[in-house]
């Protein structure tokens, strides 16, 4: 017996899908208005679609529900996402509180990733991504400045004295040789007292 006037059944609402409103995905038919993410209900297309078993999701919700979890799996460059997927029915794992090690001499791993080294300027923890080494100490990139004038430094423009860093001009002015002939420019005379 022929199926007069009918079409395929929608994968979401089970209603009849006519050709003019049909979207096909994974061998199934959907109404355009039913082709939505099962979690957030956003409209889908071929670039935003992710399928798991017989369920359709936007890539964002699919990633939250089935993707990798943990540090480093954000939604893009520099993003820290605190969404653990509770609204997707995902139960968050019990988190253990961090207790600092009583060991006063942390391992190289702790020094590299734990931020246990302190900045030579501000005294705060310095992490590997922001660390500049000079004068035997770690420095934040923003703290890597001349102690006298505050000019931002690079490894080629800095000098060190007594554990402090200076630009070459300030170092020469404050610690370089003084007297006749050791001026700051052509024809300059400095009288040292």
pLDDT in tens, 167-183: 988 888 888 776 665 55
Alpha-carbon span 160 to 114, nearest angstrom: 27
Question: Taking the complete model, does pTM exceed 0.85, yes or no?
Answer: no
Domain boundaries, the chain: 8-68, 131-175
Q: Are 58 and 48 in contact (CB under 8 A)?
A: yes
Is there a shared CATH topology between the 8-68 domain and the 131-175 domain?
A: yes
Going by pLDDT thresholds of 50, 70 and 90, the confidence category of residue 99 is: very low
Going by pLDDT thresholds of 50, 70 and 90, the confidence category of residue 107 is: very low
Q: Are 150 and 169 in contact (CB under 8 A)?
A: no
What is the rounded average pLDDT of the residues 154-179? 84
For the chain, percent of residues with pLDDT exceeding 70: 64
Find the farthest-apart pair of alpha carbons in the chain and give their distance in angstroms, rounded: 114
Which is more confident, 104 or 158? 158
Which is more confident, 162 or 91? 162
pLDDT for 1 equals: 47
Summarize pLDDT for 40-86 with one digit per residue, the tens: 988 888 788 888 888 888 888 888 887 776 555 555 544 455 555 66
pLDDT for 67 equals: 75
Given the candidates 3.40.50.300, 2.10.110.10, 2.70.98.60, 3.30.1330.60, the CATH classification of the domain at 131-175 is: 2.10.110.10
Going by pLDDT thresholds of 50, 70 and 90, the confidence category of residue 191 is: low
Residue 125 has pLDDT above 70, yes or no: yes
Residue 188 has pLDDT above 70, yes or no: no
Alpha-carbon span 62 to 70, nearest angstrom: 15
Q: Which CATH class is domain 8-68?
A: mainly beta
Q: Are 49 and 25 in contact (CB under 8 A)?
A: yes
């Amino acid at each position: 017996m022929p199926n007069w006037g009918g079409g395929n059944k929608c994968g979401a609402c089970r209603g009849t899908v006519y050709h003019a409103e049909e979207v096909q995905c994974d061998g199934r038919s959907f109404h355009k208005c039913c082709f939505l993410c099962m979690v957030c209900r956003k409209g889908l297309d071929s670039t935003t679609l992710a399928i798991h078993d017989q369920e359709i999701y936007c890539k964002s919700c699919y990633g939250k529900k089935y993707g990798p979890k943990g540090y480093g799996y954000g939604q893009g460059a520099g993003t820290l996402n605190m969404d653990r997927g509770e609204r997707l029915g995902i139960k968050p794992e019990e988190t253990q509180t961090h207790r600092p090690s009583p060991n006063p001499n942390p391992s190289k791993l702790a020094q590299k990733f734990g931020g246990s080294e302190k900045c030579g300027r501000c005294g705060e923890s310095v992490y590997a991504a922001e660390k500049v080494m000079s004068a035997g100490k770690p420095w934040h990139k923003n703290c890597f400045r001349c102690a006298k004038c505050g000019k931002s430094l690079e490894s080629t423009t800095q000098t060190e004295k007594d554990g402090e860093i200076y630009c070459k001009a300030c170092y020469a002015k404050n610690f370089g040789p003084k007297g006749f002939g050791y001026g700051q420019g052509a024809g300059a005379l400095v009288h040292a007292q």
